[in-house]
Amino acid sequence: LTQRLRPFGETIFARMSALAVATGAVNLGQGFPDTDGPAELLRDAQRAIGEGVNQYPPGPGLPALREAVAAARLRDHGHLVDPATEVLITVGATEAVAAAMLGLVEPGDEVVLLQPCYDSYPPAVAMAGGITRFVTLRPDATGRFGLDPDELRAAVGPRTRMLVVNSPHNPTGTVLTAAESQAIAELAVERDLLVLTDEVYEHMVFDGGRHIALATLPGMAERTLSVSSAGKTFSVTGWKIGWVCGPAPLVAAVRAAKQFLTFTAGAPFQPAVAAALGRDTAWVTGMRTDLQAKRDRLCAGLHAAGLPVVRPQGTYFVVADIRALGETDGLAFCLDLPRRAGVVAVPVQVFYDHPAPGRPFVRFAFCKTDAVLDEAIDRLQSLT
């Protein structure tokens, strides 16, 4: 294994899902829904296979899908992009992130990450030969993980090339406020940074809150790559259809890397996702309403089990504080949780460059049927 990959080991999601299978525990670890996406979407993909949409699509993605992505960006966020040159279809958001690093980060360039961060970002930076700089999101008096603009400013230096932002945020469930978003945008403009925004949870914002697309703030369109994914929007995480939107020169750089990683993305899924994006937004709205109820169900259950939580503003995830149970180490807690309670969760400490700030926190996914959530909640009551 190369030196640049040696620090990372096996992704926590594979490790914890394997643990769930091996122990028969209820899996609230890896974030994937246990119900399928909209019936028309599934039918359209099956039909596409039957109709012979089975060979390589164009490298940048099926034109109809790029057009649908551009139309949805405008409809949902007021972000105007040209489908011909400013949209690239990728193999999930994960490939978009990795190809952006490979296409835009020189060896020795610094990339600023807000931690805890999604586990693919640090290895993606490392594969490009970049250097990671971490800014730590810290719980405020209410427990919400927020961004300190001064800490962010301090992390940006002369070699900083890119800032990666993820909102709604995995694992904390934080949705960046207008003030936090503005602080990021002002710094990026002042220091002439590229910004990669991972918006895969763009539609999972609760309590009437709003997702702000950073690309729509002043001075940001020309420096921002906005990433999202059909996996999350339509509950088809296994399809691995994602996209990145941004100014043509930046998208061309991502495409330059993507063409030699995977060349294109799955053919029959692309027309199906294009049609789904173009339909009315009722299915996505319904999913958001359902997810919000699931969030509340799991939060109440965790609370009853002696695990205090901060109600997340978005995403699939809720973070619990295990100190209330007299525990100090989330990794040890999660490795023992299948035996103790028959449930799998994810330790938040793995999403940091060093475990200390994340040790007391454990992430539970609520994108599951009510019966599965209730079974997990029932089992967790044995903790107290």
* Residue ranges in contact with ligand GLN by CB under 6 A: 11, 13, 30-31, 170
CA-to-CA distance for 222 and 283, rounded, in angstroms? 32
Q: Work out the number of other CB atoms within 10 angstroms of the CB of residue 24.
A: 9
Whose Cβ is closer to ligand PMP: residue 93's or residue 217's? 93
Whose Cβ is closer to ligand GLN: residue 8's or residue 13's? 13
CA-to-CA distance for 287 and 245, rounded, in angstroms? 24
Angle in degrees, CA 123, 107, 254, rounded to 5: 70
Q: Which residue is nearest to ligand GLN (CB)?
A: 31
| Residues 353/354/356/357 CA torsion (nearest 10 deg) | -10
From 4-12, 216-224, 227-235, 263-271, give the range in contact with ligand PMP by CB under 6 A: 227-235
202 binds ligand PMP (CB under 6 A): no
Whose Cβ is closer to ligand PMP: residue 160's or residue 166's? 166
* DSSP alpha helix (H) spans, the chain: 12-23, 39-50, 63-77, 92-104, 121-127, 149-155, 178-190, 230-233, 248-261, 269-278, 282-304, 330-341, 370-380
292 binds ligand PMP (CB under 6 A): no
Residue 13 touches which of ligand PMP, ligand GLN, none (CB < 5 to 8 A by kind)?
A: ligand GLN
Taking the CA of residue 213 as centre, how many other CA atoms within 13 Å lie in the half-sphere pointing to its CB?
A: 25
229 binds ligand PMP (CB under 6 A): yes
Which residue reads 């246990």 in tokens? 34
Whose Cβ is closer to ligand PMP: residue 93's or residue 322's? 93
Whose Cβ is closer to ligand PMP: residue 171's or residue 342's? 171
Give the amino acid at 64. Answer: A
Residue 198 touches which of ligand PMP, ligand GLN, none (CB < 5 to 8 A by kind)?
A: ligand PMP
Taking the CA of residue 174 as centre, how many other CA atoms within 13 Å lie in the half-sphere pointing to its CB?
A: 23
From the list 12, 26, 29, 31, which residue makes contact with ligand PMP (rule: CB under 6 A)? 31
Residue 347 touches which of ligand GLN, ligand PMP, none (CB < 5 to 8 A by kind)?
A: none
Three-state DSSP class for 363?
Answer: strand
Residue 231 touches which of ligand PMP, ligand GLN, none (CB < 5 to 8 A by kind)?
A: ligand PMP
List interacting residues with ligand PMP (CB under 6 A): 31, 92-94, 118, 166, 170, 198, 200, 229, 231-232, 237, 240, 242
